[in-house]
A and B are shown apart, each in its own frame.
Chain A
Amino acid sequence: MGNNSEMQVDTQKIRDLINQDKSMIKLMLKVCAHCSMCAESCFLYVHSPDDPKYIPSYKMLNSVGYLYKKKGNVTWEDLERIKEIVWDNCVLCTRCYCPLGVDIPRMISLARKICRSQGVYKEYNT
């Protein structure tokens, strides 16, 4: 994405997107027991077992979880970091296993939606 330093992050838009599903997001973030039993269901994690960045719950908590906790008040650096989590560390193969039934792919795609709303997205020609 081009240089965004002149523009501010539209935190209100992020808040609006979160508020559309606020109850569900809040609930899912709470229900996540931080057990990391989802780890082995992610083939990216299975390839690099010492790297926690591929654990589905880690990805969810550090993308949507972070956006929710900060109430949308994030910086461009935060969004770039979240972009790396939800695009580079996740292929949205939607096969994450959660013993508690948390819909992790839905959370990741919500994080992607929020990033896209700010003009932050993965570009495939770089």
Chain B
Amino acid sequence: MYELLRGPLATASFIIFFLGIIYQIIRFFTLTRKYQPVSRINGFTRTDKKQNKPSPAIQKLAKRKGNVMGMEPNMAVITTIFHILVIVTPVFLLSHNILILESWGFSLPSFSEAFSDFLTLLVLAFGVFFLYRRVILAKVRAVSSLSDYLTFLVVFLPFITGFIAYHQFFAYKYMIILHMLTGEIMLVCLPFSKLVHMLYFFLNRFFLVSEYNFGPGGRVW
């Protein structure tokens, strides 16, 4: 079982993951089209009326009240940190990099094991926060369904099992198999479930024309 998960299944899941990501990126660019903003303003803009705004410092702080940092600052901060960590933690993990080095001949830099441990605990803590949010808050419960809870498991089981396996708390052999299995399930599910928002966060928020986009935006559906 271990050999299967370590060898061909791991390779297969990575391939499916990358192919799925590429497919979704291509899908985005085929479903959207380039959009040229208008080159000329038709009509007088009333620049004679001085706009007269408050000081830039006030404007900057006030702007925050209008966006998500003003509306839901806790969730905004936690979710940003969480999403960065959920990628950074496994990618710069020493154990993973050793395995990649053994299998494919290269590796990425790694954090110290203690630091990775700390990051994993952070991820798990945030997981508890998200679960709390989904179960307790009425507004999140209203849009939740079974798939959300399954996705939660798919994402956090690799972290839980990895943490237990690394520390060898109990049943190491089974934990490591479970860890690899759940990790591979997550990789395979990612491009084809709501986890694809990993990709579409960047595609939508940077490329689409919208009030809330980060870039200038040059595409529309």
Interface residues in chain A, defined as those with a beta carbon under 8 Å from any beta carbon in chain B: 21, 23-24, 27, 30-37, 39-41, 45, 49-50, 52, 55, 57-58, 61, 95, 97-103, 106
The 27 sampled A-B contact pairs (Cβ below 8 Å) are A24-B221, A27-B200, A31-B194, A31-B200, A33-B197, A34-B143, A34-B144, A34-B145, A35-B79, A36-B139, A37-B71, A39-B139, A40-B68, A45-B139, A52-B143, A61-B143, A97-B68, A97-B71, A98-B212, A99-B205, A100-B200, A101-B200, A101-B203, A101-B204, A101-B208, A101-B213, A103-B208
Contacts between the two chains (Cβ within 8 Å), count? 90
Interface residues in chain B, defined as those with a beta carbon under 8 Å from any beta carbon in chain A: 27-28, 31, 67-68, 71-72, 75-76, 79, 137-145, 148, 193-194, 196-197, 200-201, 203-205, 208, 210-213, 221
Pick the residue among A21, A31, A58, A101 that contacts B210 (CB under 8 A).
A101
- A contact residues around B204 at 8 Å (CB): 31, 100-102
Most A CB contacts (10 A, CB to CB) among B72, B210, B213 go to: B72
Do A37 and B72 touch (CB < 8 A)? yes
- B contact residues around A34 at 8 Å (CB): 140, 143-145, 148, 194
Pick the residue among B28, B71, B196, B210 that contacts A41 (CB under 8 A).
B71
Do B139 and A33 touch (CB < 8 A)? no
Do B221 and A58 touch (CB < 8 A)? no
Known contacts being A33-B197, A101-B204, A101-B208, is A40 close to B142, with CB within 8 Å? no
Do B194 and A55 touch (CB < 8 A)? no
Is the contact region of chain B dominated by helix, strand, or loop, or is it mixed? helix
- Given A23-B27, A52-B138, 17 other A-B residues pairs in contact with their CB atoms under 8 A: A27-B31, A27-B200, A34-B140, A36-B137, A36-B142, A37-B71, A50-B138, A52-B142, A58-B142, A95-B211, A99-B68, A100-B197, A100-B204, A101-B204, A101-B210, A103-B208, A106-B221
| CA of A39 to CA of B137, assembled, Å | 12
| CA of A36 to CA of B208, assembled, Å | 21
Do A99 and B201 touch (CB < 8 A)? yes
CB distance from A73 to the nearest CB of B (A): 20
Known contacts being A24-B221, A30-B196, is A101 close to B205, with CB within 8 Å? yes
CB distance from B154 to the nearest CB of A (A): 13
- B contact residues around A57 at 8 Å (CB): 143
- B contact residues around A45 at 8 Å (CB): 139
Pick the residue among B31, B138, B139, B203 that contacts A23 (CB under 8 A).
B31
